[in-house]
Chains A and B, each alone.
Chain A
Amino acid sequence: MIYLDNSATTKVHDSVLESFIQVNKQFFGNPASIHEMGVESNMLLMRARTQIAQLVNTTPEQVIFTSGGTESNNFAFYGVVKANEHKGRHIITTAVEHPCILEAAKRLAAEGYEVDYLSVDEHGVISLEELRQKVRKDTILVSIMHVNNEMGAIMPIEQAAQIIHDNSRAVFHVDAIQSFGKLPITLTDGPDIISVSGHKIHALKGSGILAMKEHIQIAPFIVGGGQEFGLRSGTVAVPNAVAFAKAARIVIEEMPQKVAQYRKWREQLFKLFATFGEQVNVISPAQGAPHIVSVGIAGLKGEILINALQKEGIIVSTSSACSSKQTKTSHVIEALNVEQKYKDGVIRISFGANNTDEDIAQFQQVFTQLMHQLKGEHIK
């Protein structure tokens, strides 16, 4: 099987899984316990936290373990807004965020906060000019994703940070779930807070972090026993945290070499899709993230192509795993003004650490073959 849906989730690295198992066996003490086992667990947890802090350029106390990307993003929204509501009630985000941001924004809007959405151009990128116009003195949170999960557009984070920090006291949150390990993103590159999800970087599902710059303060979202410096209650899943730290280290260490590979494959696919002319429309921008290629197939439902590829042992997805089960067109595709005839036939190919040159060659061959078989019947 050739797995090309790494933006939906990744396979856990063997060595990461091994760490997870070993921690569960050897260091299962509750890190909050005062007996030796607890102390040891806590020391290990601190080591994991410190390792992650070093990878994102902050202090260990500013790294909070969560249950994953959705919690991290919800937490960032709620935490920043509740800690800063005395400064204002205005929030800015973009029209193409992941639903866990958009739904959080909606909920806060219902509570009476004012939310502005930045639109994107045909490449899926926000306009810095629009951001400049929308940032106000009473803006308390700006949240912009680094890389779009459905088509790989890269947002200008550094420049956005400059504008936000020059014109407001707002906290700048960046959803780095799709970009971490594929593009450099740390807390010295502009953001005040970033979210990262474990299962997108070959760690376990149910793990994530929220990492903050020093001096950034947020309110707790989950309350209880006061774990994670009082910011995220609940017994910390030490095995998950350790696995996350290891996977994060590996993905950052391997980034130069893996990204070079992804770029090569991406170019190969761009070339392949160009050979189909009008029939295939590449939605991902040329300047996009190295690991995501989204294309629209004229007059063909995405689902049909996915099934056909699957029969040949190749796994890809429609625009995103979250929206792929809903029948309506995704909000991202809508925001991009994609021509009607391509809208229903969007598929996303996303690379991961385990892919090989052969995988990509095989995909090209099968895709070409299928396009010839399928087109007559399904093109309207």
Chain B
Amino acid sequence: MMYKEILIRYGELSTKGRNKKDFIYRLRENIRYSFSDLAPLKIRTERDRMFIETETPERQEQLVTRLPKIFGIQSFSLVASAEKDMQAIKAVAHTIMAQYGEVTFKVEVKRSDKSFHMDTHEIQRDLGGYLLSNFQNLSVDVKKPQVPLRVEIREDAAYIMAGIIKGAGGMPVGSNGKSLLMLSGGIDSPVAAYLMMKRGVRIEAIHFFSPPYTSQNSLQKVMDLTNICTQFGARIRLHIIPFTEIQTLIKDRVPENLSMTTTRRMMLKVADKVRQEIDALGIVTGESLGQVASQTLHSMTAINEVTSTPVLRPLLSYDKNEIIDIAKEIGTYETSIQPYEDCCTVFTPANPATKPKLEKVEYYESMTEFDDLIDKAVRNREMHIFPRKEQKADKFAALL
């Protein structure tokens, strides 16, 4: 059946008081962004909900497929319209209810057009009675109906809806500021990106590239992951830091068991510089407590010491398996597990300190001048914006 529009409920957003206007604006822009490859949507916003016209069956299909991925939408419903006439309303309600089997239902009526000749209760009784006498499989449950059939009598027409489709929840990306994500190419960091975006944080990503110790493939993998993350409703800029020089210097100057701690500290310093330049508020990592030597509370404290910028760790209390489940759900897992060396694995010492002593780390670092190299790395970074507009020419197409 052809519906007229889709009603979007904001959910959590509705409770955010005076910031609401910005939030709604953000959500509308994010929805438009998600459909930027198609003809512009006709969107109408109200205080606590939003309407998108379905226009054509194809458009309706696209909306139903893509809307569940966009953060800030609690749920949405397909809405049919009818003339403001009980006969017409009944006919549409009949078509909608015919899709259900054995269910309990309830008719809810909202009459904003007070000139309509029947009042709320009369409409409820008339329509409910009509449906009950036409469908054997329906029964009424006013407290917890499985299918709430909602009828709204507005100025222009009557609107009728039943099914509720769950949205992604969360808040519109961008409504909670911007942070810089440290993206390694593993399983965790894309999941961290996802969770932060879900809470409305806009993401830019930073990746440390150490050729020839890490290959073009591992970089490609990071780009692919960034691209996947853009499907949650926002563009993402990726900063690629040339890290070979710093990394090899650390290996030369810092004892092996502390080199990992120093490497992380240098990365965080670089990230903080980039964060400053791009006006981001925090730094996001995919760290999960105790997962590896660098992620013990002792290590994190020693690493975190280089900055006072908030380091956000959305996965801190997650088990690996929980992270993997989310990665699979959001479609980053298969890409993440491609077996390429990344900068975290290539210089890993055999026995990294799990309780690095900050004084010792600082002592060894003080003997080497890292700051210039850090500035140079930040200066020489490469930047890419995702999703990529132009597709790479498909050299395989003719073969297949």
Contacts and interface: CB of A to CB of B under 8 A. Distances in A.
Interface of A: 19, 22-23, 34, 36, 39, 43-44, 47-48, 51, 242, 245-246, 249
B253 to A, nearest CB: 30
A286 B396 CA distance: 43
Contacts of B396: 43-44, 47
B137 interface: no
Contact of A22 (B217, B339, B340, B399): B399
A51 B339 contact: no
Q: State the 5 A-B residue pairs at the shortest beta-carbon distance, nearest first.
A: A19-B399, A47-B396, A44-B396, A242-B399, A246-B400
Interface of B: 215-217, 339-340, 396, 398-400
A44 B399 contact: yes
A242 B396 CA distance: 10
25 contacts: A19-B398, A19-B399, A19-B400, A22-B399, A23-B399, A34-B215, A34-B217, A34-B339, A34-B340, A36-B216, A36-B217, A39-B217, A43-B396, A44-B396, A44-B399, A47-B396, A47-B400, A48-B400, A51-B400, A242-B399, A242-B400, A245-B400, A246-B399, A246-B400, A249-B400
Contacts of A22: 399
Given A22-B399, A44-B396, 18 more contacts: A19-B399, A23-B399, A34-B215, A34-B217, A34-B340, A36-B216, A36-B217, A43-B396, A44-B399, A47-B396, A47-B400, A48-B400, A51-B400, A242-B399, A242-B400, A245-B400, A246-B399, A246-B400
Contacts of A19: 398-400
A44 B398 CA distance: 11
A123 to B, nearest CB: 39
B52 to A, nearest CB: 31
Contacts of A246: 399-400
A47 B340 CA distance: 20
B43 to A, nearest CB: 34
Chain A interface SS verdict (over half): helix
Contacts of A43: 396
Greatest chain B CB density within 10 A among A22, A23, A34, A48 is at A34
A12 B217 CA distance: 35
Contacts of A36: 216-217
A15 to B, nearest CB: 9
Nearest to B216: A36
Contacts of A51: 400
A249 B217 CA distance: 30
A20 to B, nearest CB: 9
Contacts of B217: 34, 36, 39
A34 B220 CA distance: 13
A97 B399 CA distance: 34
A45 to B, nearest CB: 10
Nearest to B220: A39
B184 to A, nearest CB: 18
Nearest to A23: B399
Contacts of B400: 19, 47-48, 51, 242, 245-246, 249
A43 B400 CA distance: 12
Contacts of A34: 215, 217, 339-340
A249 B339 CA distance: 31
Nearest to A44: B396
Contacts of B215: 34
A20 B400 CA distance: 10
Contacts of B399: 19, 22-23, 44, 242, 246
Residue picked from B216, B339, B396, B399, most chain A C-beta under 10 Å = B399
A278 B72 CA distance: 78
A179 to B, nearest CB: 23
A28 B340 CA distance: 21
A100 to B, nearest CB: 28
A93 B216 CA distance: 51
A181 B217 CA distance: 38
> Which of B339, B396, B398 is most buried by chain A, counting CB atoms within 10 A of its CB?
B396
A246 B400 CA distance: 5
B212 to A, nearest CB: 12
Contacts of A242: 399-400
A124 B398 CA distance: 41
A22 B396 CA distance: 10
Contacts of A249: 400
A39 B224 CA distance: 15
A44 B339 CA distance: 18
Contacts of B216: 36
Contacts of B339: 34
A215 B269 CA distance: 47
A51 B217 CA distance: 24
B293 to A, nearest CB: 26
A39 B339 CA distance: 11
